[in-house]
Structure 1
Amino acid sequence: MSKDNLLEAMIARIKSDKKPTDKKQKIAEAAVQLFAEKGYANTSTSEIAKRAGVAEGTIFRHYGTKENLLLSILLPFLKESLPGMAESVFREISGKGMDSFEDFFRALLKNRYQFFKENREIFQVFIKELLYNEDFRNEIVPHFTENVFQRIRQTIVHFQQKGEIVDLPSLPLARTLFTFVFSFFVSRFVLMPENAFLDDETELENFVQIVLHGIKKGN
């Protein structure tokens, strides 16, 4: 199992919690299996119902839409798994001996780039709900603030103490950096067509240099 594949991780979690007589558990497992096999967009509710051994109307009665079905699985999974995922990512990068902020930032981008690339369809649904679903946003944002944003802020303070980052308050610096990075991934995997980008390595390196040095030409 790929450590970055959310669908595979969700399948493992559902199986570990499975109650054989629970229709919703069967629907959830069937849905995630099919999303992993065929992709979210290419999976129909009728296919999910067939694999789960239930009527298609049962899915609509419980969830209303395929998107709500995915969210009913994704939201509790993220809330439960995000602390461990964030800890693992930052520990993995820090363990590589990143002595400079530039090295750390480049490694973090490469790590998360692969993650979002592998989970593109889920990320697209996630962004849509984050923008338009207030209940979803209120549920998930505090978890990102606690487990991701605060780690970024701590990293900024660390490299400020080493004299590598400008001496400004860490909160607006962390907020700006988070906004830049998040917007980059949204642009890359949600908004822009594939042919709008160069190869992955070039795109990442260009972004690193823009964030570190800005767009104004030096004297």
Structure 2
Amino acid sequence: MTQYESLKELIMLDANEEAKFSEKQLKIIEAAIEIFSEKGFAATSTNEIAKKAGVAEGTIFRHYKTKKELLVSIVSPLMAKLLGPHFAKDFANEVFELKYETFEEFIRNLASNRYEFIKKHIAVVKILIQEISYHKELKEPYVRLFKEHVYEKFKNIILHFQKKGEIVDESPDTIMRLIITTIMGTLVSLFLVLPDNEWDTESELESTIQFLINGLSVK
């Protein structure tokens, strides 16, 4: 599936949003995401986006006064309104609504789910990682979505396995942080930091899973 097809698929998750985007607008969005992900927001010009999209630069400025407004008004809403809820709600349903026999089973499903998500939406995830510290408009929706759809369910799973005596009696927030940073650190390395390395993805994920299980299990 191309990035363009992936974007159209995301937009079709919400019929009301789909009606607001013309084919030309979709091409601008696709071009913006592709170039922002490759070069970063600061190093990208609206002229490059226009050329990539096959439109005149004036077409962009007819709707958006600045490059920042393009990021905030097109890319950010697309991610926050479509990819964001899709991420949070599906993430909650596919990972946190299931019943697990063991902590290892939970960690395996969590790592696999996030791997498949990032693999499918790598360009958009790359923009988030690059720009989230500089643009609060990108950060705030995801913090809210995590708190609304994921946090309590994640915490309850940790408490469940602590009561079963499977994992250490540390603060659930601390354990949550360790799980998130370990899995995301591995995935960022595989896809973004060292993407040209000849990674054995299955082996790297298994090492990450074993690291968490061995580090958090009650000895």
The alignment's TM-score, normalised by the length of structure 1, stands at: 0.72
C-alpha distance 168-41 of structure 1, shift in aligned 2 (>3 A): closer
Q: Does 1:30 align with 2:30?
A: no
Kindly provide the CA deviation profile for residues 54-89 of structure 1, in whole angstroms up to 9, marking residues without a partner as x.
x32231451633x86455344334443444543333
The residue matched to 1:144 in structure 2 has which SS? helix
Residues 84 and 161 of structure 1: CA distance in aligned 2, closer, same or farther (over 3 Å) = farther
> Which residue in the other structure is 2:125 paired with?
123
Shift of 1:207: 0.5
Q: Does the aligned pair in 2 maintain the 1:7–1:33 contact within 8 Å?
A: yes
Q: Partners of 1:140 and 1:150 in 2: how far apart?
A: 15
Alignment of 1:83-102 (within 5 A): 83=85, 85-93=87-95, 98-102=100-104
Q: Deviations over 1:88-108 (max 9, x none)?
A: 334334677531111111111
Letter in 1 for 2:208: F
Stretch deviating more after TM superposition (105-114 or 178-187): 178-187
Q: Could you say if the C-alpha distance between residues 104 and 157 of structure 1 is closer, same or farther in structure 2, counting changes exceeding 3 Å?
A: same
| Counterpart position of 2:44 | none
Q: Distance in 2 between matches of 1:17 and 1:198?
A: 38
Distance 2:96 2:144 in 1: 24
The alignment's C-alpha RMSD in Å is: 3.7
Q: Report sequence identity in percent.
A: 29
User: How many matched pairs?
Assistant: 204
CA offsets per residue over residues 145-183 of structure 1, 9 Å max, x none?
Answer: 333333322221122222212112212221222222222
Between the aligned partners of 1:171 and 1:47, the Cα distance in structure 2 is 43
Alignment of 1:24-173 (within 5 A): 27-32=24-29, 41=38, 44-48=49-53, 50=55, 55-60=56-61, 62=64, 64-65=66-67, 69=70, 71-81=72-82, 82-83=84-85, 85-93=87-95, 98-173=100-175
Q: Whole-Å Cα distance in 1 between the matches of residues 136 and 87 of structure 2? A: 24
Q: Which runs of 5+ in 2 are unaligned?
A: 40-47
Q: Which residue of 2 aligns with 1:209?
A: 210
* Distance verdict in 2 for CA 1:14–1:107, change over 3 Å: closer
Q: Matched residues in 1 for 2:141 and 2:97: separation?
A: 31
For the residues of structure 2 that align with 1:63 and 1:147, how far apart are their CA atoms? 34
> What's the TM-score once normalised by structure 2's chain length?
0.72
Runs of at least 5 residues in structure 1 that lack an aligned partner in the other structure: none
Separation (CA, whole Å) in 2 of partners of 1:60 and 1:121 = 24
| Equivalent residue number for residue 198 of structure 1 | 199
Larger displacement relative to structure 2 (28-37 or 85-94): 28-37
Q: Larger deviation: 162-171 or 30-39?
A: 30-39
Q: Is the 1:14–1:29 Cα contact (8 Å) retained in structure 2?
A: no
